[in-house]
Amino acid sequence: MSQASALLRRDAAELSARLPPLLAHAERLAATVLAGEHGRRRAGQGDEFWQYRPAHEGDEARHIDWRRSARSDAHFIRQKEWQAAQTVLFWVDDARAMDFTSSPDLPAKRERAQLLAMAAASLLLRGGERVGLLGAPFPPRMGEHQLTPLAAALLSQDERGEYGAPVMDGLGANTNVVMISDFLGDPAPFEAALSQAASRGVRGALLQILDPQEEAFPFEGRTIFESMGGVLSHETKKAGNLRARYLERLAARKALLADLAARSGWQYLCHHTDAPASAALLWLYGALERRR
Amino acid sequence: MFTIGPIGFTAPLILLGFLLLPVLWLLLRAVPPAPIRRRFPGVALLLGLQDDENETDKTPWWLLLLRMAALAAAIIGFAGPVLNPRAEQPGSGPLLILADGSWADAAGWARRIERMDALLEEAGADGRPVAVVMLADLPEGPLPFQGAEAWQRRLAGLQPTPWAPTPSPQWITALSDEGDFDTVWLSDGLARESRAPLLAALEAHGLVRVIESPRPVLGLGAVRFEEGEIAMDVLRSRAEGPLEVVIAAIGPDPAGVTRELARVEAGFEPGAESAEARFYLPAELRNRITRFAISGLRSAGAVQLADDALRRREVALIAGRADREGLDLLDPLHYLRKALEPSADLLEGGLDEILPANPDVIILADVAKLAPGEEEALREWVEKGGLLVRFAGPQLAASDVSRGAEDPLMPVRLRAGGRVVGGAMSWGTPKKLRPFAPESPFFGLDIPPDVEVSAQVLAEPDPTLSARVIASLADGTPLVTRKRIGRGQVVLFHVTANAEWSSLPLSRLFVEMLERLAVSARKGAPGAESLAGTEWRLEKRLDGFGELADAAEPIVVKGEVIATVEPGQEIPPGLYAGEDRSLAVNVLGEGAVLAPAAWPARIPVEGIAALRETGFKGAFLAAALALLLLDLLASLWLSGRLRGPRRGLAAGALFLGLCLGALAPAPAARAQEGAPPPPDDAEARAIAAAAKVTLAYVITGDSELDRLSEAGLLGLSDILYRRTSVEPGLPMGVDLERDELSLFPLLYWPISPSQPLPSKEAYAKLNEYLRRGGMILFDTRDGDLSGLGQSTPEGRKLQALALPLDIPPLEPVPEDHVLTRTFYLIQTFPGRYDRPIWAEAAPPDAEKVEGMPFRNLNDGVSPVIIGGNDWAGAWAVDRSGAPLLPVGRGYTGERQREMAYRFGVNLVMYVLTGNYKSDQVHVPALLERLGQ
């Protein structure tokens, strides 16, 4: 038996050991949202009656519901509830920067991102959507059996850079994209990705996940800051003096993201790992609802 | 050696290291603190940010100062600082170290040994031969001069003796044979006659130095008895400012563990040489005391051993008449017995039997006339120191004893007939007591407000009367009078010893008054004549530190010697045992005085504290280390390692620092002594049972049955509360072996075949209970299948249980029994079954009253009711008041339950009111009389 296959098996075992907890955790989180969020609440293609609306110019005559219209003077069109399946693609930043956590009590940003992605995916799959991963080797599919390959792809860690950047491949129309990252690296790839997406009519959500320490910058004294991989480093003699300017830059980065999102019709939220995941999930779910 | 003031340095050159400090200052200021490396993803945002100031964080001045101080402490420490460097003292030739070694030394013995050690060290350094001699334990032969090291090894073996040092004149004269030597005399600070000749003899040989502690010596004087209190003097050798000492009375507690039984504080007035400590203790405590000691002082002189003198007294009780047997509360001696039992040994009997026993006290309760021979003997006994206490009473009031002329055995003359000042047939109100006069032995006792006197015998006014009154009523008439006869005294209480004439015997005051009187009748201190011809064996020996230990070697001393000779080597202080007495020989006897030693002005007197060389090297180095540790923490804090993330590591360092701080010796926690005893459960229970009418059941050991009994009685109590004026408390289970039965009017005893037979004592209690009017309701719970069950196991058990009980002949309850009409008119007595029950048989001569449906039945209440109707089952209710068990069927069953309750009500009424309803037979006759 070769060493490579042994390693592979070991990794597989580790992966499968971690999969169920992630799945279970995500299911549990999803369950907190599912209650009360039934239906699409939009007119569209489907079987279920949605509403009558007065007929406008340009409506085809065959759409008019004569039975309803006969009860009044105006013409009404019978609309069905929108039930067309959509595709939602997730992109979860797997860069080293996402491994950071300031306290053993808090989850790493990466863990929180994966959890939210899986929980949202679970919700969407139950709602009958197609869910996939941006840049994944498998296409987006419907059905809950899609969860397992999703989780496996999320947990695989190869070729990780210091900061992540999305690859906007294979985006079709009627697709939503959810990007989960800390967005601390170079913003240029994101700007490019978002403009590319906007040009194709792809909508979506940006979920920024930050550690509380990244938000507070509680450092003092002479310090050398290093990125998680150790590639970037910055030395200061008085860390305390940098705090105001760091916070300024962070606020600027958030504003940039919010602006980007607004311009391309996306949604943006900054989420901290010390806040409950369910709030972020609720927002994420709502954001996807609004887009459709 | 280089010295600055009292401090010298062993290596002064190292002090040059101070020159390095300014250099270090500059160096430390130049070097910035080391940076911390932190992983931080936000670094991408930091890139390109410049520090405002080019200069790095400087080491702050206080941190620099801290480091300088640490370094300075280290330099000083290594330079070897020494406090009081030893200056060379002149001296050569042999040295005699003379220690008193008495009990007065014991309190500061360790420091004396230390001082001797210092002296020996000096002498050893100078190569002088030394002799160490304890005056209280003199060596045989010439002075043992040896090398100082040899003495230093033996120093730890020296112990103070529990007596005063009294060198014999022969020993002092023998000193003149020795050669020249210098003397250091470690005095214990007390004046003694032997000091002057010894000092003269020593001065003939060379220089004499005296070392003496300036502290006063404390001692505990002999124990006295004054008016029922134990008093003793605390003595001190120097009359200085105010001083508080605590005297502890020590003895075995009830568990046999020796502990402090009581403590009082004695305060020296400024300038006073003695202070008085007074113990007022209950007799039970006083009997336990084995010694008194000054708390916290380890010295034989601070201990007073207690012997027989604290023991119980013998008291003889004689009553005038004992014709009303069985009526305890009217017995003239009952209250005396109750009051004296705990504190005295009681003798009862005729005067002729008692007098030869020579009791300490004889109490005559309402005895008017004595036979002439007896009177003479009694008088003789009083004159020899006996205490005769007499109580008045109807007999004394009616007799003409001490009427015309004063009876020798009465303190006052009495008026005929006495008087009644309060009561149903008089206008006056009962009289209260007047506070006791200061000269009265009762002075200081609290008079409870409820003590009232309603009848008394009156004293004739007499010139001597006022001197003899030791307690009087509010209107000035004497209540207690006393007369001294020879060495003894006669005390007359002008009221009875029982509660007929006054409530005095019911009060605490009565006990306290008796105690004051009885205790003040203590025999005097044993004199030589009283000890003549006796032999005393040493049992427990007191050592110099005041600890008692079993005597190792047998020492037997003649009584005359013990009474006259001061304690010393021949008579070591301790506890001696005679034939059946014990005698304590204490270090300080009666009249002991502690006077400070007076030395001639030419003799130099030093304090005991030795100025020894004290090295400070360790202290300075420890200070340096502590400062460096502080520096470590401060550096960590400055560099942000204590504040920012990763505090955990720094917290470890902080913890280490705190640990070092905690190493400082903590004051030893004082053990909690004398925790209060747990509250008496039985007493609380008795109070609860006596507070209300309480129905009780016998605990059979069958938990199911006991629960049912309790529920049954609860149901019955509830019914009683609602329907009658009886308001019972919660029912109680009774353990026949342990619980007091007399508190319960009715015992419900369900029979369980498995229950054990009560013990003999329990049967005795049960019989007593039945005889005194208690009632037991036996319930075999088997429906009485075969008429007072022969065949059921419960029936057989009942027979076995009831066999030792004192039960009168029984009969089935007749239809005219009082039980059928005490509250409800009933004819059957059902429980869950409805069978006849049995009660005490009516006497055969009970007659049916004419025209009445019932007979004038037995005048008592049946002590037992026996049946098998399972009443508890019918009465039983749960907490919400719903019946627990079914009775019969449907409405008939409920009716039967109601009848069961009615039987219960009738039963309780029968128990509480007895045959009251039987008196109904007389109603027609009474009505007829009223009509006229």
Res B789 pLDDT > 60:
no
Closest CA of chain A from B57, distance in Å? 7
Say whether A237 and B46 touch across the interface (CB within 8 A).
no
- Digit-coded pLDDT (tens) for B498-531: 888 888 888 888 887 877 776 443 344 555 555 6
In chain B, residues with a C-beta closer than 8 Å to the C-beta of A212 are: none
Share of chain B above pLDDT 70, in %: 83
3-state SS class at B33: coil
Res B678 pLDDT > 50:
no
Number of domains composing chain B: 4
Q: Are residues B470 and B546 in the same domain?
A: no
Q: Could you tell me the pLDDT band of residue B626, with boundaries at 50, 70 and 90?
A: very high
Say whether B41 and A227 touch across the interface (CB within 8 A).
yes
3-state SS class at B9: strand
Say whether B51 and A221 touch across the interface (CB within 8 A).
no
- Please give the ipTM for the structure prediction: 0.72
Closest CA of chain A from B706, distance in Å? 54
The chain A residue lying nearest B32, using CA atoms, is: A222
Residue B808 belongs to domain spanning:
681-923
- Per DSSP bridges, beta strands A267-272 and A223-226 are unpaired
Share of chain A above pLDDT 70, in %: 78
The DSSP secondary structure of B481-520, one letter per residue, reads EEEEETTEEEEEESS-SSTTSBSGGGSHHHHHHHHHHHHT
Token pair, residue B660, equals 């070092």
Q: Is residue B501 part of a domain?
A: yes
Say whether A224 and B49 touch across the interface (CB within 8 A).
no
Q: What is the mean pLDDT of chain B?
A: 79
Domain CATH code at residue B464: 3.40.50.880
Q: Could you tell me the pLDDT band of residue B696, with boundaries at 50, 70 and 90?
A: very high
Q: Are residues B483 and B557 in the same domain?
A: no
pLDDT at B88: 47
CA dist B414 and B411 (Å) reads 9
Q: What is the mean pLDDT of residues A83-87?
A: 66
HEC sequence for B262-322: EEEEEEECCCCCEEEEEECCCHHHHHHCCEEEECCCCCHHHEEECCHHHCCEEEEEEECCC
CA dist B647 and A102 (Å) reads 12
Q: Are residues B558 and B705 in the same domain?
A: no
Residue B640 near residue A223 (C-beta atoms within 8 A): yes
Share of chain A above pLDDT 90, in %: 5
Residue A110 near residue A145 (C-beta atoms within 8 A): no
Res A4 pLDDT > 80:
no
Domain CATH code at residue B909: 3.40.50.12140
- Digit-coded pLDDT (tens) for B255-289: 778 888 888 888 888 888 888 888 887 766 777 78
Q: Are residues B606 and B553 in the same domain?
A: no
In chain B, residues with a C-beta closer than 8 Å to the C-beta of A220 are: 639-640, 643-644
The DSSP secondary structure of B325-374, one letter per residue, reads TT-GGG-TTHHHHHHHTTTEEEEES-HHHHGGG--SEEEEES-----HHH
Q: What is the mean pLDDT of residues B740-749?
A: 88
All structural domains of chain A: 3-39+84-291 (3.40.50.410), 49-80 (no CATH)
Closest CA of chain A from B626, distance in Å? 25
In chain A, residues with a C-beta closer than 8 Å to the C-beta of B42 are: 184, 214, 217, 225, 246, 250
Say whether B41 and A211 touch across the interface (CB within 8 A).
yes
Q: Could you tell me the pLDDT band of residue A240, with boundaries at 50, 70 and 90?
A: confident
Residue B393: name the closest of B460, B326, B492, B476 by CA.
B492
Nearest to A225 among B33, B40, B639 (CB): B40
Closest CA of chain B from A186, distance in Å? 8
The chain B residue lying nearest A97, using CA atoms, is: B41
- Digit-coded pLDDT (tens) for B553-562: 778 887 777 7
Closest CA of chain B from A203, distance in Å? 28
Domain CATH code at residue B177: 3.40.50.410
pTM over cut 0.90: no
Among B43, B57, B646, the residue to mutate for chain A (most A Cβ within 10 A): B43
Q: Is residue B331 part of a domain?
A: yes
Q: Are residues B581 and B600 in the same domain?
A: no
Q: What is the mean pLDDT of residues B154-172?
A: 81
**B330 or A88: whose pLDDT is higher?**
A88
Q: Are residues B488 and B552 in the same domain?
A: no
Residue B207: name the closest of B610, B606, B508, B535 by CA.
B606
Say whether A222 and B35 touch across the interface (CB within 8 A).
yes
**B402 or B716: whose pLDDT is higher?**
B716
- Digit-coded pLDDT (tens) for A269-291: 999 988 888 888 888 877 876 54
**B869 or B808: whose pLDDT is higher?**
B869
pLDDT at B54: 57
Q: Of B525, B550, B585, which residue constitutes the final position of a domain?
A: B585
**B178 or A15: whose pLDDT is higher?**
B178
Res B419 pLDDT > 80:
no
CA dist B373 and B352 (Å) reads 9
Q: Are residues B421 and B465 in the same domain?
A: yes
Nearest to A223 among B36, B41, B47 (CB): B36
**B658 or B417: whose pLDDT is higher?**
B417
Q: Could you tell me the pLDDT band of residue B850, with boundaries at 50, 70 and 90?
A: low
CA dist B894 and B891 (Å) reads 5
Q: Could you tell me the pLDDT band of residue A37, with boundaries at 50, 70 and 90?
A: very low
In chain B, residues with a C-beta closer than 8 Å to the C-beta of A211 are: 41
In chain B, residues with a C-beta closer than 8 Å to the C-beta of A163 are: 44
Q: Could you tell me the pLDDT band of residue B768, with boundaries at 50, 70 and 90?
A: confident
- What are the C-alpha distances in Å from B365 to residues A267, B307, B318, B396, B442? 110, 32, 6, 9, 20
Q: Are residues B428 and B569 in the same domain?
A: no
In chain A, residues with a C-beta closer than 8 Å to the C-beta of B45 are: 184, 246, 249-250, 253
Q: Are residues B390 and B501 in the same domain?
A: yes
- Digit-coded pLDDT (tens) for A148-190: 888 888 887 676 777 877 877 667 666 788 889 888 888 888 8
Nearest to A242 among B36, B49, B639 (CB): B49
Among A98, A109, A214, A219, the residue to mutate for chain B (most B Cβ within 10 A): A219
pLDDT at B320: 67
pLDDT at A44: 61
The chain B residue lying nearest A186, using CA atoms, is: B44
pLDDT at B521: 39
Closest CA of chain A from B659, distance in Å? 27
Q: Which residues of B touch A (CB under 8 A)?
A: 32-47, 49, 51-53, 55-57, 638-641, 643-645
In which element (H, E) is residue B419 found?
strand B419-420
Res B664 pLDDT > 60:
no
Give Rg (Cα) of chain B.
Answer: 44
pLDDT at B829: 87
Q: Could you tell me the pLDDT band of residue B454, with boundaries at 50, 70 and 90?
A: confident
- Digit-coded pLDDT (tens) for B226-255: 666 788 888 888 887 888 888 988 888 877
pLDDT at B523: 40
A-B CB pairs within 8 A amount to 117
Q: Are residues B856 and B779 in the same domain?
A: yes
Q: Are residues B546 and B491 in the same domain?
A: no
Among A237, A257, A272, A273, the residue to mutate for chain B (most B Cβ within 10 A): A237
B264-289 core/surface letters (b: 16 or more CB in 10 A; e: else): bebebeeeebbbbbebbbebeebebb
Q: What is the mean pLDDT of residues B804-824?
A: 81
- Digit-coded pLDDT (tens) for A250-260: 999 999 999 98
pLDDT at B900: 92
Q: Is residue B736 part of a domain?
A: yes
Closest CA of chain A from B31, distance in Å? 13
Calculate ∠ Cα B619-B625-B629, nearest 5°.
140
pLDDT at B311: 64
The chain B residue lying nearest A98, using CA atoms, is: B41
Closest CA of chain B from A50, distance in Å? 49
pLDDT at B640: 64
Nearest to A222 among B53, B639, B645 (CB): B639
Among B31, B37, B38, B45, the residue to mutate for chain A (most A Cβ within 10 A): B45
- Digit-coded pLDDT (tens) for B61-102: 888 888 888 888 888 888 878 776 655 455 677 888 888 888
Q: Of B468, B488, B506, which residue constitutes the final position of a domain?
A: B506
Say whether A221 and B34 touch across the interface (CB within 8 A).
no
Res A11 pLDDT > 80:
no
Say whether A225 and B38 touch across the interface (CB within 8 A).
yes
- Digit-coded pLDDT (tens) for B2-30: 677 677 787 778 888 888 888 888 887 77
Token pair, residue B238, equals 């120097």
**B417 or A236: whose pLDDT is higher?**
A236
Res B738 pLDDT > 60:
yes
Say whether B57 and A238 touch across the interface (CB within 8 A).
yes
Res A125 pLDDT > 70:
yes
Closest CA of chain A from B66, distance in Å? 20
Q: In what order do the strands lie in the sheet with A233-236?
A: A233-236, A223-226, B36-39
Say whether B39 and A226 touch across the interface (CB within 8 A).
yes
- Per DSSP bridges, beta strands B36-39 and A223-226 are parallel
pLDDT at B542: 84
Cα B750 to the center of its chain, rounded Å = 44
CA dist B269 and A99 (Å) reads 81
Q: Is residue B285 part of a domain?
A: no
Q: Are residues B473 and B550 in the same domain?
A: no
Say whether B57 and A222 touch across the interface (CB within 8 A).
yes
Q: What is the mean pLDDT of residues B906-925?
A: 78
Q: Could you tell me the pLDDT band of residue B421, with boundaries at 50, 70 and 90?
A: low
pLDDT at B788: 54
Q: Is residue B523 part of a domain?
A: no
- What are the C-alpha distances in Å from B816 to residues A43, B123, B767, B923? 98, 111, 28, 16
